[in-house]
Every structure is written in C-alpha cells, then in structure tokens.
A and B are shown apart, each in its own frame.
Chain A
Amino acid sequence: MRLAGQPDGNGAMFWSSFRAGVRQAAGLPSLVLMASLIGVGGLTRDIGYPIWAGVLSTLLLWAGPAQVLLFGSLAAGASLPAIAIAVSLSSIRFFPMVVSILPLLRGPGVGTGRLLFGAHFVAVTAWTEGRRLLPGLPVEQRYPFFIGFSIMVMAAATFATGAGYYLIAALPAAFAAALLFTTPMFFTLSLVAGSRTLADWAALGLGFALAPLATALVGQDFDLLVVGLVGGTLAYGIHRMRGGR
C-alpha cells in the first residue's frame, strides 16, 4: 500500500506529520505497550509455539486481550471454535472504537483503503491517544500522524513480544513468573483505569468472580463465553437500572 500517494509538496507534509506521530509515541505509550505485550511472548513459548507465531499475533491481532485469550485458552486446552468465538467477542469493542475515531482520520486523499489500513491500528492506546491529540491537528496532518504514532508503538510492542519469548527461558523462576504476570496485571490496571460508572465496575468484578464458577459449571471450552455474556449482560442491567442511556 502506498502511504504517500500525494504529489510532492503533500508528500513532504505527509512524512513530517508521520515523524511527529513517531516522536509522540516514542516515550510512555511505547513503554506501556511493551509492558503489556512482553508477557504474550512468554505465553507463546509456554504453549510450545514458535517465536514468530507470537510476533505475528502482535502484528496481525494488535489486541493484547485477544492474544492472551488465544494463547491462554490454547494452554488450557479449549476447543478451537470456542476460542475463535471468545476472541471475536473480546474484539467487538473495536467496532465502536473504529466508528468513533473515523471522523478524525478522514481528510483529503484518505479513501476507504487508507481508512482500513488505519483501522487495523485501532486498539486501546492508539485510540485513546488519537482521540486526545488528533483534534488539535490540521485535518490533513491527522492521518499521517496517526499512522506514524501507530507504527512506532506497534514496532516497540512487536520487539517486546519477541524479547519476552527468549527472556522467559533465560530468567530464574520467580522472574519468569513475573514476566507472565505482566499481562494479567496490566490488563487489570487498564480495566480499572477505564472504569467510570458502577456498571463498569460491575462488569469488571463479575467477570473476575464468575470465571472460576463458570469453569466449574460448563468446563474449559465455553466458560469465558458464559462469563462475558452473563457478566456483561448483568452489568448492562445495572447500567439500565441506574437510568443510563
């Protein structure tokens, strides 16, 4: 895909905005994503998959929770169709996220092909940072800035995935455990950070509390589906009861 498909003057503008995005991503956003994906590399090794399967999962899925679901469920021995459904359920959130960031990415020369390319990078970090930073930029700089930002954080996270794969075997037991612990710790903190209403907290708490119960009741294959649908729907009920619209 050609990124700089504009005439020369616009091409220079494209790359300067792209570089501004890279610079914006190079600090904390990249560190946070490295911390969240390093454990996925460890998980990949844990289930006996090759390093490039873990690296590929970061490049293609670009969804920490879905990657953890995928490798974690494989480790637990769940059936493949059940894993695919759970992964897909966990990724439905990308639908509203893409819908809501689309108006910020549209601009001169940004057609459906480029929007699809840009949408691939939509995940928690790029979405929150994009919604925070893009409105302050001129319309024609937004798309290249977003792509630069996204490619930078993805490169850092991909490197961390590969590093985690090797680190887990090289580290003493307690530190290897810490590497695998990065993922649940990071996702818990992300959920806590994103919880604003009582219903958000209920979804978080119910998901956590129902998991052991669901495993005991329906087994390893479909327990996460039950947790997501039952816990999420109960939390939605709380949202409605409190007059949420």
Chain B
Amino acid sequence: MAAELEQAIGGLWPYLVVIVIGFLPTEVWRVAGVLAGRNLDENSQVMVWVRMVATALVAGVVAKLLMSPSGALAVVPLWGRLGALAAGVAVYFVARRSVLAGLFVGEMVLIGAGLWGSQL
C-alpha cells in the first residue's frame, strides 16, 4: 500500500514520510508533556524506565549504523569504525569529559582508517 501511495504522490513522498513517520510520533510527546503539566514527577519509576528504553534504543541505532552502514561509511572497514568509536570515547574521558575532543579524535581515527583501508 505504501508503494502505491508513493507512486501516486511522487516527489512529495519524502516530505510526507518526514511529517507522518517522523514529526508526528515525536511531537506527540512534547504536546503531552505540556498538557500533562505539573502532575508528573520526572523522577518517578515510569520515567526512569522510559529513560532506560530511550537510551537502549539510541545505542541500538548507533550499533546498527556502525555494523551495517549504508553508502559512504561502508568504505571504512568494521575494525576502523569500531576502533574510531572506542578512541573517541577514550579521549572524551582523558580530555576531562570533553565531547568536542572525543568527536574530533574519533573522526581523525576514522579518516585515517578510511584512507589506509582504501589503499589495501
């Protein structure tokens, strides 16, 4: 059914996907937060569980992006992708919890692995 709809609306399809599959499922929680107002404690058990699920989900996305990458990232071998991630996290701690330092070094290692890997 999705394929037929995609055919029917052509070039507008990506925008429809962004709005219906992306925007609405996200914004509903912000609106709910405003409407529920002050009756909720952010430290309640349900909220802790929600935070754990969201964390695991985002970590899962990262793993999928690294283990089975699409397009340009696939030119870097798996060891290079995982090694760059580990290097970035290590530097984050060494550089007194600096996200930018970790990001920078992770990128450098990845570029190095990409250049080295493409010459083999």
Please report A residues at the B interface, Cβ cutoff 8 Å: 28, 31-32, 35, 42, 46-47, 49-50, 52-53, 56-57, 60-63, 65-70, 72, 74-76, 79-80, 83-100, 102-103, 112, 115-116, 119-120, 122, 168, 173-195, 199-200, 203-212, 214-215, 223-224, 227-233, 235-236, 239, 244-245
Quick one: which of A60, A187, A208 contacts B18, CB cutoff 8 A? A60
Contacts A75-B70, A181-B84, A212-B67 given; does A65 touch B51 at CB 8 Å: no
| Cβ contact within 8 Å between B34 and A232 | no
**Complex Cα spacing A112 to B62, Å:** 36
Query: Majority SS of interface residues in chain B?
Result: helix
A176, B60: Cβ atoms closer than 8 Å: no
- A80-B2 contact, Cβ under 8 Å, with A72-B64, A88-B26, A174-B114: yes
B29:A188 contact, CB within 8 angstroms = no
Cβ A99 vs Cβ B40 within 8 A? yes
Q: How many residues of B contact A (CB 8 A)?
A: 76
* Cα A60 to Cα B47 with chains together (Å): 24
**20 A-B residue pairings within 8 Å (CB atoms):** A53-B18, A66-B26, A88-B26, A90-B58, A95-B30, A95-B32, A97-B42, A102-B37, A173-B72, A181-B107, A184-B85, A186-B99, A191-B58, A203-B55, A204-B59, A210-B56, A211-B63, A231-B60, A232-B57, A233-B52
Q: How far is the CA of A76 from the CA of B70 in the complex (A)?
A: 8
Contact B34–A115 (Cβ < 8 Å): yes
Say whether B81 contacts A181, CB under 8 Å. yes
